[in-house]
Amino acid sequence: MEVTRTGYVTLVGRPNAGKSTLLNQLVGEHLSIVTPKAQTTWQRVTGILSVGTDQMIFLDTPGLLEAKDMLQRAMLGAALEALAEADITVLLIDSTTKPDSREAASTIEALSETNAPLHIALNKVDIADEEAIRAWEAWADRELSGSVYKLSSLTGEGADALLEGLRADLPVGPFLYPEEDIASDPVRFFVAELVRETIFELYHQEIPYSTFCHVEEFRENQDPVYVQVQIFVERESQKGILIGKKGRAIRELGEMARMKIEHFIDMRVYLDLWVKPLKAWRKNRGHLNRLGFRLPESDEPSAS
């Protein structure tokens, strides 16, 4: 009987390090939303890759950041929780930047949450300059203990070498998911995320960061599949911006998001979007709990 190996591989790093792009690249499916804007991953996303006798369960996490409101505290908590569950940790570094002592210190502090084998991925080497890459290599050699890889999440360059290293560190154990599975989150989660990704692509400034999407209805037993998504915003004025003059903006949003959802579930979709103000939801414990975010009990609730 063949020995199987299975483990949780937690992807961590600063915002915009390329964690979501790497997850999508490794799994071969658009699971985590990706936009040029930073801090687009708000909850952890699970992707599964089964290769031969090995199964890797990737946990894409929100970026390690200094939390400024309740939502960001929930995001940071999700990242630290995923670190605590890791069998293997991958630290992604944006090698187009240079080491910053304050950010580096907070990253090292976060890594103290786990004793799992560490793999350091210097990402975006396809566009980074050699001086910055060498600076990160020196930092990793000086401050951390783990294998260092140079890769590009976007092009896939170096991804095979990283996978080989990860597979070598997997603990022996049975597969936790069927071989054909690529995700453990429900389809509704990914549908809501695809709508939110489209909002990040179409709107600017504070609108994307003030918006959260939740699937209210998903009727897959009809053609086209009926999907109703509630889009929460923080203020009435943001509702007007999302809808646009004579509804033009939300029609464009619906069309773009619908095409993504149809590609993802491989079925025709009728997408019904509703916009609802939820006052200061990012700072309100009750609202965040209802929307599915988990907050440390020690946080003081904020006034709505």
Q: How far is CA 13 from the centre of its chain?
A: 11
What is the reported pLDDT for 300? 47
What is the reported pLDDT for 98? 87
> Does some domain include residue 43?
yes
Helices 101-111, 130-143: axis angle to 10 degrees equals 40
Q: Residue 231: pLDDT band by 50, 70, 90 thresholds?
A: very high
Model pLDDT for residues 55-72, shown as the tens digit of each residue: 999 999 988 888 888 998
User: Is 78 in the same domain as 127?
Assistant: yes
> Does some domain include residue 297?
no
Closest alpha carbon to 116 in 4, 45, 19, 11 = 11
What CATH number has the domain bearing residue 213? Answer: 3.30.300.20
> Does some domain include residue 236?
yes
Could you tell me which residue, 40 or 85, shows the higher pLDDT?
85
SS3 assignment, position 291: coil
Q: How far is CA 300 from the centre of its chain?
A: 26
β-partners of residue 5 are 54, 172
User: Is 38 in the same domain as 156?
Assistant: yes
> Does some domain include residue 175?
no
SS3 assignment, position 100: coil
> Does some domain include residue 265?
yes
CA distance 213 to 232: 6
Alpha-helical segments (H) within the chain: 19-27, 70-85, 101-111, 130-143, 159-168, 187-202, 236-243, 248-265, 285-290
User: Is 157 in the same domain as 283?
Assistant: no
Could you tell me which residue, 167 or 303, shows the higher pLDDT?
167
Instruction: Decide if 10 contacts 86 (C-beta within 8 A).
Output: yes
Give the residue numbers spanning the domain of 81. Answer: 5-168
| Number of CB atoms found within 10 A of residue 198's CB | 24
> Does some domain include residue 182?
no
Model pLDDT for residues 183-221, shown as the tens digit of each residue: 988 999 999 999 999 999 999 888 999 999 999 999 999
What is the reported pLDDT for 301? 41
What is the reported pLDDT for 69? 85
What is the reported pLDDT for 304? 36
Domain count, the chain: 2
The arithmetic mean of pLDDT across residues 232-258, rounded, is 96
**C-alpha to C-alpha distances, 139 to 75, 99, 132, 204, nearest whole angstrom:** 26, 7, 11, 35
What is the reported pLDDT for 50? 96
Model pLDDT for residues 124-135, shown as the tens digit of each residue: 999 999 999 999
What is the reported pLDDT for 57? 97
Out of 109, 133, 168, pick the residue that ends a domain.
168
Lowest mean pLDDT among 100-104, 211-215, 232-236, 260-264: 100-104
Model pLDDT for residues 37-57, shown as the tens digit of each residue: 778 888 889 999 999 999 999
171 Cβ neighbours under 8 A, 6+ residues apart: 5, 6, 7, 87
User: Is 18 in the same domain as 160?
Assistant: yes
CA distance 18 to 175: 27
pLDDT exceeds cutoff 60 at 180:
yes
Alpha-helical segments (H) within 35-112: 70-85, 101-111
Out of 133, 168, 203, pick the residue that ends a domain.
168
Q: How far is CA 89 from the centre of its chain?
A: 15
> Does some domain include residue 30?
yes
User: Is 108 in the same domain as 217?
Assistant: no
Q: Residue 302: pLDDT band by 50, 70, 90 thresholds?
A: very low
> Does some domain include residue 180?
no
CA distance 262 to 269: 6
User: Is 14 in the same domain as 104?
Assistant: yes
What is the reported pLDDT for 298? 55
User: Is 211 in the same domain as 106?
Assistant: no
pLDDT exceeds cutoff 80 at 225:
yes
